[in-house]
Chain A
Amino acid sequence: MRSILVTGASRGIGLSIARRLAAGGDRVIAVARKRGAELDDAIAAAAATSGEIGFKAFDLSEVGAIPAFVKELRGEFGPIFGLVNNAGIGTEGLLATMHNSQIEALVRLNVLSPIILTKYVARQMMADRAGRIINMSSIIATTGYRGLSVYGATKAAAAGFTRSLAREVGQLGITVNAIAPGFIETELTGNLSEGDRERIAGRSALRRLATPDDVAATVEFLLGEGGTNITGAVQVIDAGNTA
Chain B
Amino acid sequence: MSIRLKIISEMQQIAREQNITLPPLDDDLPLQSTSLDSLGFAILVARLEDELGRDPFTIADEAAFPLTIGDFVRAYENVPA
Contact = CB atoms under 8 A, between A and B. Distances in A.
Interface residues of B, number: 10
Contacts of A123: 42, 45-46, 49
Contacts of A168: 39
A124 B42 CA distance: 10
B50 interface: yes
Main SS class of interface, B: helix
Interface residues of A, number: 8
Interface in A80-134: 123-124, 126-127
Contacts of B46: 123-124, 126-127
B50 A172 contact: no
Contacts, number: 19
A169 to B, nearest CB: 8
Interface string B25-53: 00000000000000100110111011000
B58 interface: yes
Interface string A138-182: 000000000000000000000000000000100110000000000
A67 interface: yes
B39 A172 contact: yes
A64 to B, nearest CB: 10
A114 to B, nearest CB: 17
Contacts of A126: 42-43, 46
Interface of A: 67, 123-124, 126-127, 168, 171-172
Interface of B: 39, 42-43, 45-47, 49-50, 55, 58
